[in-house]
Structure 1
């Protein structure tokens, strides 16, 4: 079996699952709503970072990366790197705890 290209992995074999998409959309909506209600201005780069982290997790769990993670060790390790290194750093770059402290009464 030849290894698929990265482009074909990201574009093909999407398997939408409510168990991933619903929480991801919920976190995104909660974050954006909280950023609108936070006292003062909330930096757009923090919102972009948080949403990029959520999107990174969705790509790792819904795209062809997830479809091929059982067949190719390299794809499995890419999925690990996205879920354990990239997505958490982007989410934390959004400073969700500080936003919660500002937005909650």
Structure 2
């Protein structure tokens, strides 16, 4: 059924990733999909440079000790948080803060 605006404008992947992280599970694939880094989602469903997904991906990279990609993601995250009007402490507002 067509609806405008969308019934759920907030991507549910942010919430899924945050819940997976709180449960101690690996959520990197969720954030990569949201950012369009894995090519699995069609372009309208990708949220490139999204501050929430960048925060989640950065936290995942930190957790697994990744050093090659992390500086690039950290730079993108810094650019995105510079434009944010609220402090970004986790990958979803439903999650209080990063672990």
Q: Structure 1-normalised TM-score?
A: 0.28
Is the radius of gyration larger for structure 1 or structure 2? 1
User: Which structure has the higher relative contact order (CA within 8 Å, separation 6+)?
Assistant: 1
Which one has a larger percent helix, Structure 1 or Structure 2? 1
